[in-house]
Structures are given as structure tokens and as C-alpha cells.
């Protein structure tokens, strides 16, 4: 059903978008079902990115739509401060059942950025509650993306997300990122090179002393920076060093959570349980904005010690545990489970890997990286004009009916987990054609 384009695109200041470039040549989506968007000019666009790494069960799934419709009609909102409503407790209980280890508690937020800031605050307050208030330093990683709050950009490592915003938060150090095209280009899955990079945490401890360090936050697989897969043994080593020094390990699973790697969470996939985990996106299949932080039992318990009439954590959002988000989330979990979508992603992962790596040798392709149903192709930048080749490939693919993400000269993909092999071929084939045609 074609809809008319509003005749003025000026008022909406678009996020993470070259506004003038977009408004001169807009790409407008007006409908969505399963694996496809409908564009404003009436074309079916195969969704190679699950929206923004989020719509893991596919678009407009009937069960989720109905759950949202009925919740919004029954009780559209109820507070979670000093009040409760059943679906928030039910959703939290079902979520923690899915999680590895003793990640037994869920704190609800509205986005990945809020989840990150929440997790950092819990980490700081936890040490204080344990009588170790000197542990205030936070460690992120170069090329990390942890959303756009001041906490998230402080621990994040993407320079354009940081350099405009002053001094953000003090007391933050960064581990080196693990991308090394010279050593590990075209690795299938986890690269063999780079485990030693985790030892940089030891160096930071030697510099500042463990007694000053609260937490380390990393994406198990970096998404936004272009599918940077951890070297074999790297996350295990980070876990060991954190344990040795009493430092909390936070996994930011906003992208890797909910089946992206073919298991519930990256923590399951890698067999490494963090102390805190942040999620959003796939939590509600992106139907309603929502995020969460999961905490291990010992962390929650550390807060439950003072007088019972005192609020244990002075933190929360008007919309924490919003009933419509909880309804969407419960229905989303049903769909994931009834359709075995995490297992489906695991079954498709080898096919996905082969499809992407078939592009090795194509002109201008300098690396291909993949894990689970995440994949990316790194292009050699046009000399003196970084990002133009990535944009060229992205717009050509869109014209050919496939939505991919481009970030600089990296083309990234992460389809809904309901993708078929034929659709994988269409995504990869379209990217191939677009790379061949692009300057």
C-alpha cells in the first residue's frame, strides 16, 4: 500500500544520518512483514539487518502484534516505582531462566544506551555496597560501541561518537581492540590470532592497582565497529583476569543477545559468564523500545543488606518495565521458543559463513568476518574519500531490493533469524553485484 511522502522532510533531525544527503535522496519504509520491508515506492526490500540488528523474529509477527494490542487496551501504563504489575515479574522470571550461570535478576530500561549506563552504575554502587568504594575506574575497549549516553561514550571507543562531547566521564581506560586485518583477514569465525590482547588488562591493573577498578565492559562480538569477532580464548582470558582482581566483567549483548550467534546469548556461545549483561533490541523484537540489565545473584544480594525500608538502588526510569514492552517481550520469547529460532540460527551459521566467504578475491574486498548470523565485508576505502565506497554499495543494494548496513567502508549484515538459505543467497549475491558495480 503506497503512502504519500510528506512534502517536507526538514523538521525531523535524523539520528546518525547525513541529513542533507538523505533528504536530497530519501529512502522511506512504509510497511514490514516477516523478512521484508515495503518501500514508499512500493518495492519489497529484503531485510538483511533485522532493522538495526534487532528484529530477530522477523517483522510484524502476529503473536507479538496481538499481545501489544491487547496490553495497550487493557492497561497502557503502570509505574514500577513502589508499585508493580504482573507482566514485569513474569518477563523477568522467564528471562533469567534462559540465562547461563547465576544471572538471576533483571533490571528494565528502555534502550541499550540506558542498559549500559545502568550496568556501569550498578557496578560502581556494588563495590561501594561491599565496602570497596575506591573501585571507581571503568575499562572499555577501543572500537567498542555502548550506546550514546555519557557513560556509554566514555567507555565506548568510536572516536566520532566521543570527540564532540567534551570530557564525558573521568577515570576510564581502554583495552586495545582485536581487529587486525594483517594478521587475521578472512578468518572464518573466531581468529586464531590476538588472544594476548586480553593481557592489556593486566597492564592497566599494574598502572592503577586493582583496588581502583570497578568493571570492564566489552561487546563479546563488536557489532557497530563491523563484526569484530573475539580471538579464540580472548574472552576466557578477560574473565580470568577479572576474577583474579575482583573486577566485574560486563558483556554488552545488545546485539549478540537473543539468538544472534545461534545460542541464547554470547555468554552461552563462548561459555563465559559475565557478572552483568546488557541487552535491548531483540528483547522485544524491537516492537516496543526496551532494554534490560541482568545481574548475577551475588551482585543483587550485595544490595539487599541495609534497612528494609531504604531504597537499595537509587536508579530507574519512568518506563522501566513498561507493560506494553513487557507484553511484547513475553510474546517475543514465545516466538523464539516455539519456532526454535536460536537453534535455527545455529543451523544456518555454516551456510551463512560459506556464502560470505565466497566473496573472497572480489575486487576491493580486504576482509570478511562472520559469527552466527552476523557477517561483514570490509572494503578498501577509495583513496582520500573514506566511506564513499561503503555508501555506494549500500545504496546500490537498496536499489536492488536488499537492506544492509554500512559504517564507513564496512558492509554489515544480521538478518532476522527466520531467514531462508535462498534469502541468504539473495543478500550475499546482491552485495556481490553491488561491490562489482561500485567505483
| Stretch of 144-152, 168-176, 261-269, 346-354 contacting ligand PXG, by CB under 6 A | 144-152
430 binds ligand PXG (CB under 6 A): no
Distance of closest approach, residue 407 Cβ to ligand PXG, in angstroms? 6
Residue in 111, 161, 195, 423 binding ligand PXG, rule: CB under 6 A: 111
Nearer Cβ to ligand PXG (145/319): 145
Distance of closest approach, residue 164 Cβ to ligand PXG, in angstroms? 17
Distance of closest approach, residue 253 Cβ to ligand PXG, in angstroms? 7
Which among 90, 81, 76 is positioned nearest to 317, based on CA atoms? 81
Cβ atoms of 202 and 194 closer than 8 Å: no
Residue in 48, 51, 140, 147 binding ligand PXG, rule: CB under 6 A: 147
Distance of closest approach, residue 280 Cβ to ligand PXG, in angstroms? 4
Site string for ligand PXG, 232-271 (x = CB under 6 A): --------------------x-xx----------------
Residue in 9, 52, 65, 158 binding ligand PXG, rule: CB under 6 A: 52
Contacts with ligand PXG by CB under 6 A: the residue count is 18
Q: How far apart are CA 294 and CA 419, in angstroms?
A: 28
Shortest Cβ contact with ligand PXG: which residue?
112
Distance of closest approach, residue 256 Cβ to ligand PXG, in angstroms? 8
Nearer Cβ to ligand PXG (113/190): 113
Residue in 157, 191, 194, 223 binding ligand PXG, rule: CB under 6 A: 223
Distance of closest approach, residue 290 Cβ to ligand PXG, in angstroms? 9
Catalogue the long-range contacts made by 283-286 (C-beta closer than 8 Å, 24 or more residues apart): 283/257, 283/258, 283/329, 283/332, 284/64, 284/325, 284/328, 284/329, 284/332, 285/54, 285/55, 285/56, 285/57, 285/61, 285/64, 285/328, 285/332, 285/335, 286/50, 286/51, 286/52, 286/54, 286/55
Angle formed at CA 283 by CA 177 and CA 214, multiple of 5 degrees: 45
Residue 325 neighbours by CB under 8 Å, 6+ apart: 108, 110, 284, 288, 289, 290, 319
Cβ atoms of 412 and 406 closer than 8 Å: yes
Cβ atoms of 438 and 392 closer than 8 Å: yes
Cβ atoms of 210 and 239 closer than 8 Å: no
Distance of closest approach, residue 172 Cβ to ligand PXG, in angstroms? 16
Place of cell 503502570: 78
The CA–CA distances, whole Å, from 81 to 44, 69, 147 equal 44, 24, 25
Q: What is the largest CA-CA distance in the chain?
A: 67
Nearer Cβ to ligand PXG (242/283): 283
Site string for ligand PXG, 371-410 (x = CB under 6 A): ----------------------------------x-x---
Residue in 146, 239, 322, 396 binding ligand PXG, rule: CB under 6 A: 146
Residue in 145, 251, 300, 356 binding ligand PXG, rule: CB under 6 A: 145
Site string for ligand PXG, 276-305 (x = CB under 6 A): ----x-------------------------
| Stretch of 117-125, 143-151, 340-348, 356-364 contacting ligand PXG, by CB under 6 A | 143-151
| Stretch of 2-10, 145-153, 175-183, 334-342 contacting ligand PXG, by CB under 6 A | 145-153
Distance of closest approach, residue 367 Cβ to ligand PXG, in angstroms? 17
Residue 284 neighbours by CB under 8 Å, 6+ apart: 64, 290, 325, 328, 329, 332
Identify any residues that bridge with 107 across adjacent strands, giving them in sequence order: 293
Distance of closest approach, residue 86 Cβ to ligand PXG, in angstroms? 26
Residue in 38, 80, 87, 224 binding ligand PXG, rule: CB under 6 A: 224
Distance of closest approach, residue 338 Cβ to ligand PXG, in angstroms? 26
117 binds ligand PXG (CB under 6 A): no
Which among 178, 205, 207 is positioned nearest to 190, based on CA atoms? 178
355 binds ligand PXG (CB under 6 A): no
Cα atoms in the 13 Å half-sphere on the side-chain side of 13: 0
The footprint of ligand PXG (CB under 6 A) covers 52-53, 111-113, 116, 145-147, 219, 223-224, 252, 254-255, 280, 405, 407
Amino acid at each position: 500500500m503506497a503512502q504519500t511522502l510528506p512534502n517536507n522532510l526538514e523538521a525531523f533531525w535524523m539520528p546518525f544520518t547525513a541529513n542533507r544527503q538523505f533528504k536530497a535522496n530519501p529512502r522511506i519504509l512504509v510497511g514490514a512483514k516477516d523478512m521484508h520491508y515495503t518501500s514508499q515506492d512500493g518495492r519489497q526490500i529484503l531485510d538483511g539487518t533485522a532493522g538495526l540488528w534487532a528484529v530477530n523474529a522477523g517483522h510484524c509477527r502476529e503473536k507479538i502484534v496481538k499481545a501489544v494490542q491487547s496490553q495497550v487496551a487493557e492497561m497502557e501504563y503502570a509505574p514500577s516505582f513502589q508499585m508493580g504489575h504482573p507482566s514485569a515479574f513474569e518477563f523477568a522470571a522467564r528471562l533469567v531462566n534462559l540465562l547461563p550461570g547465576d544471572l538471576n535478576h533483571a533490571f528494565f530500561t528502555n534502550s541499550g544506551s540506558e542498559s549500559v549506563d545502568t550496568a556501569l552504575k550498578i557496578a560502581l554502587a556494588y563495590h561501594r555496597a561491599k565496602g570497596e568504594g575506591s573501585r571507581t575506574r571503568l575499562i572499555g575497549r577501543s572500537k567498542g560501541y555502548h550506546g550514546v549516553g555519557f557513560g556509554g561514550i566514555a567507555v565506548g571507543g568510536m572516536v566520532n561518537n566521543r570527540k564532540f562531547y567534551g570530557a564525558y566521564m573521568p577515570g576510564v581506560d581502554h583495552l586495545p581492540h582485536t581487529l587486525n586485518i594483517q594478521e587475521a583477514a578472512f578468518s572464518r569465525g573466531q581468529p586464531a590470532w590476538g588472544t594476548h590482547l586480553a593481557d592489556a588488562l593486566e597492564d592497566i591493573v599494574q598502572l592503577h592497582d586493582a583496588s581502583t577498578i570497578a568493571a570492564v565492559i566489552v561487546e563479546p562480538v563488536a557489532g557497530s565497529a563491523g563484526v569484530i569477532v573475539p580471538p579464540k580464548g580472548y574472552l576466557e582470558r578477560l574473565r580470568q583476569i577479572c576474577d583474579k582482581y575482583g573486577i566485574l566483567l560486563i558483556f554488552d549483548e545488545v546485539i549478540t543477545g537473543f539468538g544472534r550467534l545461534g545460542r541464547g546469548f554470547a555468554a552461552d556461545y563462548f561459555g563465559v559468564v559475565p557478572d552483568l549483561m546488557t541487552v535491548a533490541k531483540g528483547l522485544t523484537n524491537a516492537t516496543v523500545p526496551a532494554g534490560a540489565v541482568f545481574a548475577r545473584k551475588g551482585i543483587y544480594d550485595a544490595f539487599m543488606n541495609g534497612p528494609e525500608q531504604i531504597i537499595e538502588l537509587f536508579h530507574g526510569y519512568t518506563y522501566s518495565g513498561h507493560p506494553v514492552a513487557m507484553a511484547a517481550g513475553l510474546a517475543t520469547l514465545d516466538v523464539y521458543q516455539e519456532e526454535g529460532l536460536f537453534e535455527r540460527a545455529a543451523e544456518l551459521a555454516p551456510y551463512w559463513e560459506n556464502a560470505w566467504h565466497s566473496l573472497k578475491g572480489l575486487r576491493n574486498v580486504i576482509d570478511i568476518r562472520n559469527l552466527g548470523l552476523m557477517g561483514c565485508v570490509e572494503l578498501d576505502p577509495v583513496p582520500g574519500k573514506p566511506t564513499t565506497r561503503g555508501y555506494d554499495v549500500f545504496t546500490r543494494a537498496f536499489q536492488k531490493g536488499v537492506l544492509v548496513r554500512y559504517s564507513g567502508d564496512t558492509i554489515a549484515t544480521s538478518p532476522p533469524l527466520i531467514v531462508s538459505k535462498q534469502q541468504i543467497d539473495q543478500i550475499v549475491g546482491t552485495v556481490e553485484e553491488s561491490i562489482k558495480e561500485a567505483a
